[in-house]
């Protein structure tokens, strides 16, 4: 089984690192790359949808990024203990009609000994915004290190 560093038990430093690695993977919008973060038998709750297994994660992410265009995400550590991490996140995207959204959410993660995520429980609320209200303006891909995080943006 592939090891995904860092592995539990998490320290403050490794929990922050794990959160940033997850953010970077999701900002790639590459379902294959993102799916490798998850154990083959991962179980998700994402809003009202339940996703089981790495192949289902890939299919979910393909659907997601086909409808959530110009997706940009920031994650922030909320708390951690042992093999669990809780994060809050915000992402911005638009649909194919040009309607922009800011989605606010919380995730609870659980990891196996290899650092792969076995459980992901996500609660997400969508806020329609005008394009002029966007806060995430970096080029598609990884958020630059000097771009403010959620707390700095007042989110």
For 41-70, what is each residue's pLDDT tens digit? Answer: 999 999 999 999 999 999 999 999 999 999
Compute the average pLDDT of residues 11-39. 98
pLDDT of 1 above 80? no
Percent of the chain predicted with pLDDT > 70: 100
| pLDDT average, residue stretch 149-155 | 97
Q: Is the pTM of this model over 0.75?
A: yes
Q: What is the pLDDT, as a whole number, of residue 78?
A: 98
Which CATH code fits 12-153?
A: 3.10.450.50
Encoded tokens for 123 = 């609660």
For the chain, first and last CA: distance in Å?
Answer: 37
Residues 20-48: what's their mean pLDDT? 97
Cα distance between residue 146 and residue 129, in whole Å: 24
Q: Supply the mean pLDDT for the chain.
A: 97
Q: In what order do the strands lie in the sheet with 69-81?
A: 49-52, 38-46, 117-129, 100-111, 84-94, 69-81
Length of the chain: 155
Tens digit of each residue's pLDDT (9 = 90 or more) over 106-122: 999 999 999 999 999 99
Q: Which two structure tokens, joined as six digits, stand for 106? A: 């919380």
Per-residue tokens: 127: 């806020």
DSSP state of 139: P
């Amino acid at each position: 089984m592939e090891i995904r560093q860092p592995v539990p038990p998490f320290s403050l430093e490794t929990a922050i690192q794990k959160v940033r690695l997850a953010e970077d993977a999701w900002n790639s919008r590459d379902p294959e790359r993102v799916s490798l973060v998850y154990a083959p038998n991962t179980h998700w709750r994402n809003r009202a949808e339940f996703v089981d297994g790495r192949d289902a994660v890939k299919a979910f992410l393909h659907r997601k990024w086909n409808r959530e265009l110009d997706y940009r995400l920031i994650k922030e550590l909320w708390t951690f203990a042992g093999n669990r991490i809780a994060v809050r996140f915000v992402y911005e995207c638009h649909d194919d009609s040009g309607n922009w959204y800011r989605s606010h959410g919380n995730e609870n993660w659980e990891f196996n000994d290899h650092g792969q995520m076995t459980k992901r429980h996500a609660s997400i609320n969508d806020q329609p915004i005008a394009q002029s209200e966007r806060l995430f303006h970096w080029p598609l891909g990884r958020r630059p290190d000097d771009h403010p995080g959620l707390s700095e943006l007042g989110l």
